[in-house]
């Protein structure tokens, strides 16, 4: 069961997909005279450090301590998780507000 969730600017399932996918992807809509839809392109794979940082962000947005994910990480990534958590607490103490303040139109 999820603890109380912060209000997110996008759907939670979409955020999970974006954060936890192991590839940097670009998504866009398209429309022709006959069809409309979505297309994506892969722009490369994310590093282990980027995935661990995304996990830290996800844990904080879900109202959980990032350290709770440590048992599921390889030993060499646990230190990365601690450092990511420390840096994110310093840079974005209110993670939900930081995410809500992102202007998604700037990425269009």
Extents of the domains making up the chain? 46-108
Q: Which two tokens stand for residue 73?
A: 């990480």
The answer to whether 96 touches 8, Cβ cutoff 8 Å, is: yes
Report the pLDDT value the prediction gives residue 59, as an integer from 0 to 100.
Answer: 92
Residue 108 has pLDDT above 50, yes or no: yes
With cut-offs at 50, 70 and 90, classify the pLDDT of residue 8.
Answer: very low
Instruction: Using a pLDDT cut of 90, give the percent of the chain over it.
Output: 34
pLDDT digits (tens, 9 = 90+) for 34-57: 888 877 776 667 788 988 998 999
Report the pLDDT value the prediction gives residue 53, as an integer from 0 to 100.
Answer: 93
Report the pLDDT value the prediction gives residue 80, as an integer from 0 to 100.
Answer: 95
CA distance 71 to 88: 20
CA distance 91 to 89: 6
């Amino acid at each position: 069961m999820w603890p109380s969730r912060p209000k997110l600017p996008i759907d939670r399932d979409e955020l999970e997909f974006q954060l936890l996918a192991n590839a940097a992807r670009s998504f866009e809509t398209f429309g022709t005279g006959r069809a409309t839809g979505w297309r994506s392109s892969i722009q490369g794979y994310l590093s282990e450090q980027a995935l661990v940082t995304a996990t830290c962000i996800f844990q904080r947005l879900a109202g959980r301590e990032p350290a709770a994910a440590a048992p599921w990480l390889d030993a060499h990534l646990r230190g990365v998780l601690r450092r990511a958590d420390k840096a994110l607490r310093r840079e974005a103490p209110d993670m939900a507000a930081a995410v809500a303040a992102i202007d998604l139109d700037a990425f269009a």
